Amino acid sequence: MNIYPAIDIKDGKCVRLKQGVAKDKTVYFEDPLDAAKMFADNGAKWLHLVDLDGAFAGTLCTLGILSKIAALGVKVQIGGGMRTKESVKKALDAGASRAIVGTRACSEPSFASELVSLFGDKIAVGIDAKSGKVAIKGWVEVSKVAALDLAADVAKRGVKTIIYTDIDTDGMLTGANIPAQEAMLKTLEPYGANLIASGGVSNMKDIKKLSELGLKYKNFDGAIIGKALYEKKIDLKELLKGE
């Protein structure tokens, strides 16, 4: 199971939000590069970057930070504001190994097809759900689209990685929504698409439950961990030693 430490960037700082609410933020590092160095030093092979300003504004805002983090030698996937082919290309050119598209893939699934034809498996679709419905535009709006339906649609179109975030648990340290993640794994399985789980991971018990999903489903790629790392509920170095 791959572990993806999360670095959420707002106003140039490394922050965490509760359930995606912009006003409800905690600043953990003044410079996101310091967070990236800490995770890389602890053995992380991947980092999960979220451009929160980009998500709210609709355009990528963190290319400079992205390129500095990618230069550390760790693989980076980035999402937030990825709503044009140009933005995706800029992110990949700046050193990202994977670009995550969310809002536009929900409103226009054919956009995901276009990106896959251009960039192959460097494209992931981020599906963020509140009560099973897809949230868009930095989680400000909740659409009428069911998360599982969107996942099946983009997987049919060739997207090989889906990142599924349960908003109700994100940033709350209340535990991962295992039934929701399992339902997503079952949905993606027939199409050969992989799942990265996100939201609510709070301690090693959650990691164990997610690891059990990985034993049950071959298409389970790994998990994104955010607040639990910053609040020292999970020791990344110890966790990665056990891989």
CA distance 9 to 116: 26
Q: Please, what are the averages of pLDDT over each run of 10 residues along the chain (243 residues)?
A: 96 82 81 97 97 85 94 96 93 97 89 96 94 77 90 97 83 77 97 95 93 96 95 94 70
Cα-atom radius of gyration of the chain, to the nearest Å?
A: 16
Q: Which residue in 8, 51, 166, 170 is the catalytic one?
A: 8
What is the pTM for the complete model shown? 0.93
pLDDT, residue 23, reads 66
Distances (CA, A) of 51 to 12, 16, 48, 138: 9, 12, 10, 10
Q: Which residue in 51, 53, 128, 206 is the catalytic one?
A: 128
Q: What is the pLDDT of residues 223-232, one digit of tens each?
A: 999 999 999 9
Asked if residue 126 lies in contact with residue 96, where contact means CB atoms within 8 angstroms, the answer is no
The correct answer on CATH 3.30.450.20 for the domain covering 2-241 is: no
pLDDT, residue 57, reads 80
Report DSSP state, residue 7: E
pLDDT, residue 163, reads 97
Distances (CA, A) of 140 to 6, 53, 87, 103, 179: 20, 13, 21, 11, 24
Domain boundaries along the sequence of the chain: 2-241
Active site residue 153: no
Distances (CA, A) of 72 to 43, 75, 78, 136: 12, 9, 15, 31
pLDDT, residue 158, reads 97
Active site residue 31: no
